[in-house]
């Protein structure tokens, strides 16, 4: 049961909300344990408690699975919160960070880095991916802000879609003229937690932290925006300022996540809806739940990808798509039936 206050829709029963949150946190801890234990070589769970000891199992954990798990945690948190922000600021239940052209901008920057600057490793083109996403989002917001109503959700969505189409054409043109770049780009484009090192985490965690802070600071404003722009203004909320703060957080979070793991889709779309199922309409709780649901979903997909095609693996981006696509179909059917 909900009520409206100055902060927006408020969910009653905080003890129940906290009990559900403990369940979600437990699921994330299970996903972390499985990410460290499972793969082409399974490691007994007991060895996870002594991962600093010598031995092949501990070396695999320290050098391969721990960095992969940390990157999954960071990218999952960033993608989930970015998706929640986009859905809140646009009032579009099927919005995701890709609407701002961030994925397309990052992809173009990576193609340029590979083709013209001979950049071959994720740790080297991480800055290209991040800056490309930031510039693309800046163009979308700048162009979409022209006009009387400023950066309305519809205008930003249309400009983002147009920029994505144009940038995708440039990417195709570059790759067709330089096929040697295609193999490297495909590895990045599919989205993966493998082949990355902790150096990327050290570079990008401050951007993710800043995005997290802005996300939780925006929760009350998103509750007001959910009531409509006019009512939000009547309650003292600066609609344009709130949108700018939210979009800044989206750029930081989605840009960092894309630079870390490639343009992984569906996490930013599905995680907020799972969180909303537990939390209700209050964005203060939605952000809290999404903070744990996002990484749990990404790590679970990554673990599933390691197990479905042994001794190889299915990249995390593909595994998330296989999980997220059916959920997307269910979501669209619910929207058609008025379930959301």
Q: How confident is the model at residue 296 (pLDDT cuts 50, 70, 90)?
A: very high
Listed in sequence order, the DSSP H helices in 117-238 are: 122-144, 153-177, 182-189, 198-217, 219-225, 229-234
Across 211-226, average pLDDT: 95
Q: Residue 53: its pLDDT value, please?
A: 64
pLDDT above 70 coverage of the chain, percent: 90
Q: Per-residue confidence at 3, pLDDT binned at 50, 70, 90?
A: very low
Predicted local confidence at residue 302, as pLDDT: 94
The more confident residue out of 83 and 13 is: 83
pLDDT of residue 43: 85
pLDDT of amino acid 148? 66
pLDDT at 2 exceeding the cut of 50: no
Q: Is the pLDDT of residue 4 over 60?
A: no
What is the total residue count of the chain?
Answer: 340
Write down the pLDDT at residue 9: 44
Longest dimension (CA), the chain: 65
Q: Which residue has the tokens 């951007």?
A: 207
Range 71-294+316-336 has CATH code 1.10.1060.10: no
pLDDT at 223 over 90: yes
Q: Any idea which residue has 């990157």 for tokens?
A: 71
Residue 228 has pLDDT above 90, yes or no: no
- Average pLDDT (43-49) is 78
The predicted structure's pLDDT at residue 1: 42
As a whole number of angstroms, the distance between CA 218 and CA 79 comes to: 16
* Dist. CA 265–CA 291, nearest whole Å: 17
**pLDDT confidence bin for 340, thresholds 50/70/90:** very low
DSSP-assigned letter for residue 226: T
Q: Please classify residue 295 by burial: count the beta carbons closer than 10 Å to its beta carbon, then call 0-12 exposed, 13-18 middle and 19+ buried.
A: buried
Exposure class string for 147-183: b at 16+ Cβ within 10 A, else e: eeeebbbebbbebbeebbeebeeebeebbeeeeebbe
274-293: pLDDT as tens digits: 998 888 899 999 999 999 99
What the block records as the tokens of 121 is: 């490793």
Whole-model pTM over 0.85: yes
What pLDDT score was predicted for residue 178? 81
pLDDT of 82 above 80: yes
pLDDT confidence band for 52 (50 / 70 / 90)? low
What is the pLDDT at residue 7? 45
- pLDDT of 154 above 80: no
Does residue 213 or residue 198 have the better pLDDT?
Answer: 213
Residue 80: which pLDDT band, with cuts at 50, 70 and 90?
very high
What the block records as the tokens of 324 is 């997220």
C-alpha span between 179 and 188 (Å, rounded): 15
Distance CA 130, CA 324 (A): 24
Whether 249 and 82 have beta carbons less than 8 Å apart is answered as: yes
CA-nearest of 80, 25, 63 to 256 is 80
Sequence-distant (6+) residues with CB within 8 A of 204 are 74, 126, 130, 256, 259, 260
pLDDT at 253: 94
Residue 264 backbone class (left: φ over 0; alpha: ψ -120 to 50; beta: rest): beta
Nearest to 330 by CA among 277, 280, 264: 277
């Amino acid at each position: 049961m909900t009520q409206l206050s100055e902060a927006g829709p408020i969910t009653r029963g905080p003890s129940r909300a906290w009990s559900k949150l403990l369940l979600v946190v437990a699921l994330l801890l299970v996903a972390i344990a499985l990410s460290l234990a499972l793969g082409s070589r399974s490691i007994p769970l007991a060895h996870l408690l002594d991962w600093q000891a010598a031995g092949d199992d501990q070396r695999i954990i320290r050098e391969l699975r721990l960095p992969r798990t940390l990157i999954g945690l960071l990218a999952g948190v960033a993608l989930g919160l970015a998706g929640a922000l986009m859905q809140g600021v646009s009032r579009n239940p099927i919005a995701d960070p890709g609407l701002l052209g961030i994925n397309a901008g990052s992809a173009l920057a990576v193609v340029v880095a590979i083709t013209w600057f001979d950049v071959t490793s994720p740790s080297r083109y991480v800055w290209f991916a991040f800056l490309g996403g930031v510039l693309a989002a800046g163009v979308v917001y700048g162009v979409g802000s022209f006009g009387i109503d400023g950066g309305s959700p519809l205008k930003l969505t249309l400009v983002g879609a147009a920029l994505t189409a144009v940038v995708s054409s440039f990417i195709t043109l570059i790759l067709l003229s330089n096929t040697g770049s295609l193999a490297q780009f495909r590895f990045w484009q599919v989205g993966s937690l493998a082949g990355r090192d902790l150096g990327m985490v050290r570079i990008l965690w401050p951007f993710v932290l800043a995005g997290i802070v802005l996300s939780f600071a925006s929760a009350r404003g998103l509750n007001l925006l959910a009531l409509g722009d006019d009512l939000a203004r009547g309650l003292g909320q600066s609609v344009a300022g709130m949108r700018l703060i939210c979009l800044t957080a989206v750029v930081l979070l989605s840009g960092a996540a894309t630079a870390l793991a490639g343009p992984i889709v569906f996490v930013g779309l599905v995680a907020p809806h799972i969180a909303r199922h537990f939390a209700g309409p209050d964005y203060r709780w939605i952000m809290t739940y999404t903070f744990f649901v996002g990484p749990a979903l990404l790590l679970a997909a990554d673990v599933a990808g390691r197990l479905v095609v042994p001794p190889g693996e299915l990249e995390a981006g593909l595994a998330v798509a296989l999980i997220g696509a059916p959920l997307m179909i269910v979501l669209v059917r619910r929207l058609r039936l008025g379930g959301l």
